[in-house]
Structure 1
Amino acid sequence: MQRTPPKSPLASATNLLSATQFQSDPNLSTGGEHYVSLRNKRKRHEESQSNLDEFKEEMKDFFKSLMSAQQKQLEKNTVTLKEIQRSSSNIENSVAFLTAQNEELKKTITQLQEERKEDKKHIAMLEDKIENMQMDVRKTNLEIKNVPKKPNESKEDLVDMVLNLSRTVGSQIKKEDIKDVFRVRVKKEGIQNPPIIIETSSTLIKNDVLKLCKAFNVRQKTKLCAKHLGLKTHEDTPVFVTEQLTAKAARMFFLARDLVKSNSFKFCWTAYGKVYVRKNENSPIIQIKNETAIQDLRNNK
């Protein structure tokens, strides 16, 4: 069964408008250039709906494309982040390894420093032992410095010099009391009169000669010189009789004499291979063991 559709309100309104005409109104139903048809609102609505659908589709495509690009970028970022995490993990492991290694190095350095201190103490102890041994070897020795050297000098010439010196100062040294006598060989050029070393048979004889030589220089206006050793040439050349010192003690004696020259100390002497200084008659006697002691005395003067 079919029914006739009801008339559209829009069509009824159009018919009514067509039926009602005013005299002043132009006839718009006729053709010509002034003819204007009624707008089809349904068509415009459909076009708008179509444009909206197209816009929706475009936006969907846009968002799909945007989401796809973001997904790809996210995947790239994820890969990059994983690489960064791996690198960070490697760096942390490296830092941990270096830190552990640094701690080991610190421990090793501390241990080496402690060992170095102990080694220095041990070396100082060994040096003192060697010094004492050298002093013990030299404890009976005399040294005569600045003696002119004779041409073709022999050991007998040196023995005669020692005996002449003994007679001059009043000592009773005999040839039998001289175990050995020799002139030091020097490698440096320019030293014309190397010292003469006399090995006596006892420390008593050595100390007696030293005491008599000192008394002679104090008592006589003419100090000990070459003629007192029986030399016929360069007779006025001054000579100096001392006990034979080790290289270290000789260095300390040299520095100690500088203290006396600077008026910091009044007395400086050696005894049994050791060096001593004293400020005045009432001050304590100070033994010079090393250069540090010299420096301390200079700073505290």
Structure 2
Amino acid sequence: MPLNRTPPSTSGLSPSKHNSTLRDLIEDDKEYPVTETPKVKQGFRNKRRRSDEVGDRLASFMVEIKDILESFKNEQKTKFDKLEKIFLAVDDIKKQNGEIQNSVDFLSQKYDCIVTQIGKLESEKQSNLQYLQLLEDRLDNYERLSRATCIEIRNIPTVKSETKDSLLNTIIATGKILNMSIQPNEIKDVFRFNSRDPAYKTVLVDFNSVLTKERVIRMYRKTSKENNRPTTEKLRLTGPPKPIFISESLSSKAKRLFFFTKDFANSNQYTYCWTSSGKIYLRRKEGAPVILIRNESDLENLKSQK
């Protein structure tokens, strides 16, 4: 607690005594120091305390700001690293897209070239098909002309010791059953060729003229209508009795077409189906117009007309 001391009066003291007394006081002060509280204005003390508090708060605020900035910096760095990776990935994707686009352009060019080549090949194919059809028609005509004098006889049994002379005699005997005379000099050649049944291989007879061939076919059809068709029994041939069939010798193409035409006639109520001079004809009934069948398209057209 501060003490207010009033210094003793020095009046009436000699200088020496006064100095001695002052020294004593000073020594006493040294031995017993007294702290005096200076008078301070009340407002100044309060202002200084608020300044310290503001400073502390400011320092704390700066630390928080520093932490926030540091955290924000780290967060932004992390985001930047992610964005950098994304940008790198995007660059890779762009490069890949560029390569893909180049590949697509290359393939598109190749595709256009291939389409062009296919168009050319298709055009060549059509030309080749037309040419092949032309060659096929010519070959069929040549084959038809070469068979113009030929007939085929079926169901004549095959004999092991058979010769051309024995076959020739069988043909002459068949002519007698047809009420016609066939002379040996009217036959150019006679032979067998393979068929489904080896025991009854088909006999092909090649005459010297188309007239003789046509006469044999005509007489065979006449006897068939009269139920006097030749048989193996009438020819006195070995084996069970079988009817003998005589027909024109058709080309390979005509045989195939004739097979389809007969099937069409049976399925669509056509009474007549026959061949003449290597050509195929249809007639629905007696007195109906005769239809020439040139190819399978003609049969399709007849189906569509029903």
Match of 1:225 among 221, 227, 231: 231
Q: Does 1:93 align with 2:122?
A: no
Shift of 1:81: 2.5
Letter in 1 for 2:229: K
Tell me the alpha carbon deviations over residues 3-22 of structure 1, each in whole angstroms, 9 at most, x when there is no partner. Answer: xxxxxxx932379xxxxxxx
Deviation at 1:199, TM superposition (A): 0.8
> Relative to 1, partners in 2 of residues 1:261 and 1:87: Cα closer, same or farther, differing over 3 Å?
closer
Match of 1:116 in 2: 125
State the match for 1:61 in structure 2. Answer: 70
For 2:157, the equivalent position in structure 1 comes to: 148
TM value normalised by structure 1 = 0.77
- The number of residues matched between the two structures is 267
- Distance in 1 (CA, whole Å) between partners of 2:70 and 2:262 is 105
Query: Compared with structure 1, are the counterparts of its residues 50 and 135 closer, same or farther at alpha carbon in structure 2 (3 Å cutoff)?
Result: same
Q: Which amino acid aligns with 1:99?
A: S
Structure 1 runs of 4+ with >6 Å offset: none
Matched, 1:133 2:138: no
Matched, 1:256 2:256: no
How far apart are 1:284 and its partner, in Å?
3.1
Deviations 1:156-207 (A, max 9, x none): 1111011122233343431111111112234x5x442111111111111111
**Residues 148 and 237 in structure 1, CA contact (< 8 A), matched pair in contact too:** no
Give the 3 Å change call, closer, same or farther, for CA 194–43 of structure 1 in structure 2.
Answer: same
Measure, in 1, the Cα distance between the counterparts of 2:122 and 2:155.
47
1:174 matched to which residue of 2? 183
Alpha-carbon deviation of 1:270?
Answer: 0.7
Q: Map Cα deviations across residues 225-244 of structure 1 (whole Å, 9 max, x no partner).
A: 2245x435358421112111
Cα pair 2:220 2:229 within 8 Å, conserved: no
Q: What is the CA–CA distance in structure 1 between the aligned matches of 2:51 and 2:240, rounded to whole Å?
A: 151
Match for 1:13: what amino acid?
Answer: Q
Aligned to 2:4: none
Instruction: Specify the structure having the higher radius of gyration (Cα).
Output: 2
* SS of residue matched to 2:200: coil
Q: Deviations over 1:20-52 (max 9, x none)?
A: xxxxxxxxxxxxxxxxx9992232122122223
* Matched residue SS, 2:145: helix
Q: Secondary structure at the match of 2:285?
A: coil
Once the two structures are TM-superposed, the CA of residue 252 in structure 1 deviates from its matched residue by 2.4
- The separation in 2 between residues aligned to 1:274 and 1:208, in whole angstroms, is 17
Match of 2:216 in 1: 209
State the distance in 2 between where 1:147 and 1:272 align.
Answer: 24
Is the alpha carbon distance of 1:80 and 1:129 closer, same or farther for their aligned partners in structure 2, counting shifts above 3 Å?
A: same
Matching of residues 154-193 of structure 1 within 5 Å: 154-186=163-195, 188=196, 190-193=197-200
- Seen in structure 2, the aligned counterparts of structure 1 residues 300 and 174 have a Cα distance that, compared at 3 Å, is same
Alignment gaps of 5+ in structure 1: 1-9, 16-36
1:84-103 C-alpha deviation (Å, 9 max, x unpaired): 22112112212222222232
Aligned-CA RMSD value: 2.9
Q: 1:286 aligns with which of 274, 280, 291?
A: 291
Map 1:2-17 to 2 at 5 A: 11-13=40-42
Q: Percent of counterpart pairs with the same letter?
A: 25
What is the rounded CA distance, in whole Å, between the counterparts of 1:275 and 1:38 in structure 2? Answer: 134
Q: Structure 1 residues 265, 81: CA separation in 2 closer, same or farther (over 3 Å shift)?
A: same
Call closer, same or farther: CA 1:283–1:113 in 2, change over 3 Å. farther
SS at match of 2:292: strand
Match of 1:247 in 2: 252
Separation in 1, partners of 2:95, 2:144:
71
Change (3 A) 1:141 1:39: same
Separation in 2 of the partners of 1:119 and 1:107?
A: 18
Q: Which amino acid aligns with 2:269?
A: S
C-alpha contact (below 8 Å) 2:178/2:230 kept by paired residues: no
Q: Are 2:203 and 1:196 equivalent residues in the alignment? A: yes
Which of 133-142 and 256-265 deviates more? 256-265
The residue identity in structure 2 corresponding to 1:249 is A
